[in-house]
Amino acid sequence: MAGTTVRVGPPVPQDIRCTIDGRAVTAASGDTVLTAALLHGHVLRHLEFGGAPRAGFCLMGACQDCWMWTESGARLRACTTPVAEGMRLLTAAPSGWPA
């Protein structure tokens, strides 16, 4: 599924490889995890009331809209965390993660 977010301007080399929910994606050096997710069509969560898709709100690490997890269980803010080579990311908490 293609993302609804697109890059504007000259092409940027997509040289960083990672996975989101087990799907391989590429990102550019300097991208945040949120940028990588949105460019590849990922939704980070759904509203509790009505189920509407959500993905980032404040884009500066102050709200709770962009939490993601690594496969090892570490939680991170997608909007302020730079994407890194080999990251294995999840849009939902891994099983056994504390509630």
Q: Where are the domains of the chain?
A: 16-90
Tokens representing residue 54 in the block = 């959500």
- Compute CA 90 distance to the chain's CA centroid, rounded to the nearest angstrom: 8
Q: Is 20 helix (H, G, I), strand (E, B) or coil?
A: strand
Architecture of domain 16-90: Roll (3.10)
Greater pLDDT, 71 or 54: 71
Greater pLDDT, 55 or 91: 91
- Compute CA 74 distance to the chain's CA centroid, rounded to the nearest angstrom: 14
Give 16-35 pLDDT, tens digit per residue.
999 999 999 999 999 999 99
- At residue 71, φ and ψ (nearest 5 deg) are -60, -25
Residues 6+ apart with CB under 8 A from 91: 20, 21, 37, 42, 43, 44, 45, 68
Tokens representing residue 49 in the block = 């009331």
Torsion of CA 31, 35, 41, 45, to 10 degrees: 130
Is the pTM higher than 0.75? The answer reads yes
Q: What's the pLDDT at 21?
A: 93
Query: Given a cut of 70, is residue 71 above it in pLDDT?
Result: yes
